[in-house]
Copies of this chain bind each other. A is one copy, B any other.
Amino acid sequence: MAVYIDKIAVSTNEMDIIDITSDVQSSVEKSGISAGIACIFCPGSTGAITTIEHEPGLMKDLPAALERIAPKSGYYEHEKMWHDGNGHSHVRASIIGPSITVPIEDGKLQLGTWQQIVFVECDARSRNRTLIIHVLGE
């Protein structure tokens, strides 16, 4: 049993949803791990990790739902104290969550055909992000 650590750099704009599947698959291949799990984590409180069918329609539809949960133009106590314009970003990221765990079999991520691993940029401005991949297994 081994642990392999990798990083993925992504540059984002507001509400970008970035497909990182091939990067994570590449981390799995570099790890040499055949059976185990890939843990994907966003170190930062205004970004989130999930899976989605990465096609243009849903890139509009997921943000529209997040707008219902935490509207950008809503009232935020966070804004009142910090004036960084991203109260909604924090709330959205906390609800989706910072991590997922994807199974590996025969050295391959076991995703569905129309399912991609994505980073969701909830922040209100462009960011350079470093996502963390831990592959555990044998």
Bound CA span A120–B112, Å: 16
Check A111–B1 contact: CB distance below 8 A: no
Measured CB to CB, the residues of A under 8 A from B are 1-3, 5, 35-37, 39, 41-45, 50-53, 55-62, 64-65, 68-70, 76-82, 87, 90-91, 93-105, 110-112, 114-116, 132, 134, 136-138
Q: How many copies does the complex hold?
A: 3
A interface: dominant SS: mixed
Q: Which of B37, B45, B81, B96 contacts A136 (CB 8 A)?
A: B37
A78: chain B residues at CB < 8 Å are 53, 55, 57-58, 61
* Given known A-B contacts A1-B1, A95-B95, A77 and B101 have beta carbons under 8 A apart: no
